[in-house]
Amino acid sequence: MTRPGRAQVSTSRTLSDDLIEAFWPTYLAAFEPLETRAAARHVLTREEFEEEMRDERILKLLARDHDGRAAGLTTLATDLEAVPWISSEFHARRYPQHAARRAIYYVGFTLAHPGHRRSLVFVDMLDALIDILVNDRVVCAYDISRYNDETLRFAEHLFARARRVSDLEVERVDVQTYYAATFHGPRGS
């Protein structure tokens, strides 16, 4: 059993139907607010979520609270081909030595149920994730919405914690900017 405020974090390559059912509401509670805060679609459909939870190329870090309830979830693709919107060719060209040993991973998402955000659940999940990344000596790729980057400062927290136990270099490798143009009719009318 886990102490109050702390999470028990385990890993799994594929989740059973029961675990998918247990973690789906946690996923929704954490990600539904992004439907109106990010230009790109961040919320998976139930079918997409189930598919990802069953994909063995994606490691799942499952955080449970002291009562054993789903409290947080992180996905880590250990095969970039599991992430359809990521260019494995881009990463292989940029990090050829890591690509040769299949050591380029991608964090799909990491979340804590809103009811656990003031606890150490998120920190416990980050520490478990960092242990994997450090031990495997990987390039860890990820993308993040401006809202999560500026408001929740996810990347800042992740790498501040990682620097405590690892020598690492962080670089911005690409930027996708979304624009909206509002047309008000012909000029001069």
pLDDT of residue 117: 67
Q: Are strands 104-112 and 8-12 parallel, antiparallel or unpaired?
A: unpaired
Task: Identify the helix (H) or strand (E) that includes residue 76.
Answer: strand 70-77
Average pLDDT score, the chain: 88
b/e map 113-145, b = 16+ CB within 10 Å: beebeebbbbbbbbbbbbebbeeeebbbbebbb
pLDDT of residue 158: 77
12-162 carries CATH number 3.40.630.30: yes
Spell out the domain ranges in the chain: 12-162
Of the two residues 183 and 152, the one the predictor is more confident about is 183
Q: What is the CA radius of gyration of the chain?
A: 18
Cα–Cα distance measured from residue 130 to residue 124, given in angstroms and rounded to the nearest whole number: 10
61 Cβ contact list (under 8 Å, min separation 6): 9, 10, 11, 72, 73, 74, 75, 76, 110, 125, 128, 129, 132
CA 14 to chain centre: 16
Query: Is residue 107 within a helix (H) or strand (E), and if so which, with residue range?
Result: strand 104-112
- Which residue is associated with the tokens 């050829």? 96
Average pLDDT score over residue span 10-30: 95
Rounded Cα distance between 23 and 64, Å, is 10
Amino acid at 141: A
Residues in a beta bridge with 75: 60, 109
Angle between helices 154-162 and 121-136 (to 10 degrees): 60
On the question of pLDDT at 129 being above 90, the answer is yes
pTM of the full structure: 0.87
pLDDT, tens digit, 9 for 90 and up, residues 76-113: 999 999 999 899 999 999 999 999 999 999 999 988 88
What letter represents residue 32's amino acid?
A: E
Inter-residue contact 51 to 94 (CB < 8 Å): no
pLDDT digits (tens, 9 = 90+) for 41-77: 778 999 999 999 999 999 999 999 988 999 999 999 9
Which residues on adjacent β-strands are paired with residue 8? Answer: 64
